[in-house]
């Protein structure tokens, strides 16, 4: 669960008057590694941001695979570390808070420089007070809203995108579960590239398919340490829900007139950085040429 978050004043209301009603629905990797992109057991939410096959459709073409990867934290076993080395990563972008990094440090990946872009999460004091699924669902809605409204969150996402734009070679970004902070960063990168919003949602929801093992391990830990009654209370924090993204979109609309305004005025990204991301991430397809 994302933690240590400053609060915003506005509190989005979940559907049905607060009832819990989820709406889920230069160095280059080897061609063989990109084509196969095996599942990693010790980082089960690792995947290519471009999707599979020919890559997601984007403005003017398709997303180029092997350029940007997303993941949960990188506590890799020896086999997965060897696999990760085949992707030729030049940069690892970590969105976690310092206390999260200290508790669960990444393994070192040769050739990849570590960049830290901390984004706050739900305060630990509030996490401990969540006793029902409805309370956790509400906290998650606020969590996503503050990705837009909280200055510390905006600083972290701005630093991430600016560094990606100015760094050559394949890169990977992640948080703890690879779902919330990573999920919002993925939305922003997809939007910059011109990916359709429905495709962005489908990619976001894939975490529920990929991260089954790590999600269950977390829930098992809650069961062992906090008791069986707390497991259902915390479950909304470990699943994807389209409403989570909706409140972030709504906050961007209210504050900046949409995602474009959020990127340029909220995150203060310039045209050169946005174009650098598009140029690196999108290649023209025969249909669009």
Catalytic sites, residue numbers: 175
SS3 at position 91:
strand
Closest CA relative to residue 93, chosen from 118, 75, 120 = 118
| Helix H or strand E encompassing 69 | strand 68-71
SS3 at position 92:
strand
**Residue 231: how many CA atoms within 13 Å on its side-chain side?**
13
SS3 at position 43:
coil
Contact 121, 3 (CB under 8 A): yes
Contact 63, 55 (CB under 8 A): yes
Contact 131, 93 (CB under 8 A): no
What residues pair up with 171 in beta bridges, in sequence order? 68, 91
Q: How far apart are CA 200 and CA 106, in angstroms?
A: 27
Q: What is the number of helices (H) and of strands (E) in the chain?
A: 14, 8
Alpha carbon of residue 159 to chain centroid: 14
């Amino acid at each position: 669960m994302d933690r240590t978050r400053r609060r915003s004043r506005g509190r989005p209301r979940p559907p049905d008057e607060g009832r819990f009603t989820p709406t889920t629905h230069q160095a280059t990797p080897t061609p063989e590694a990109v084509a196969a992109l095996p599942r990693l057991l010790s980082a089960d939410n690792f995947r290519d941001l471009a999707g599979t096959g020919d890559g997601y459709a984007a403005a003017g073409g398709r997303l180029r695979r092997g350029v940007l990867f997303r993941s949960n934290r990188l506590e890799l076993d020896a086999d997965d570390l060897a696999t990760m080395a085949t992707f030729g990563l030049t940069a690892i972008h970590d969105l976690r808070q310092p206390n999260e990094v200290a508790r669960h440090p990444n393994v070192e990946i040769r050739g990849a420089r570590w960049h830290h872009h901390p984004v706050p999460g739900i305060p630990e004091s509030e996490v401990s007070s969540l006793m029902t699924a409805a309370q956790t669902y509400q906290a998650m809605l606020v969590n996503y809203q503050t990705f837009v409204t909280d200055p510390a969150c905006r600083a972290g996402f701005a630093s991430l995108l600016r560094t990606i734009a100015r760094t050559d070679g394949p890169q990977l970004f992640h948080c703890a579960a690879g779902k919330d902070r990573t999920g919002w960063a993925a939305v922003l990168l997809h939007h910059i590239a011109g990916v359709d919003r429905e495709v962005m949602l489908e990619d976001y929801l894939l975490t529920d398919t990929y991260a089954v093992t790590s999600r269950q391990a977390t829930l098992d830990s809650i069961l062992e340490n906090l008791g069986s009654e707390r497991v259902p209370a915390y479950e909304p924090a470990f699943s994807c829900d389209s409403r989570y993204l909706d409140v972030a979109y709504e906050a961007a609309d209210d504050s900046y007139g949409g995602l474009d305004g959020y990127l340029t005025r909220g995150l203060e990204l310039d045209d050169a950085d946005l174009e650098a991301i598009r140029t690196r991430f999108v290649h023209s397809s025969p249909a669009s040429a």
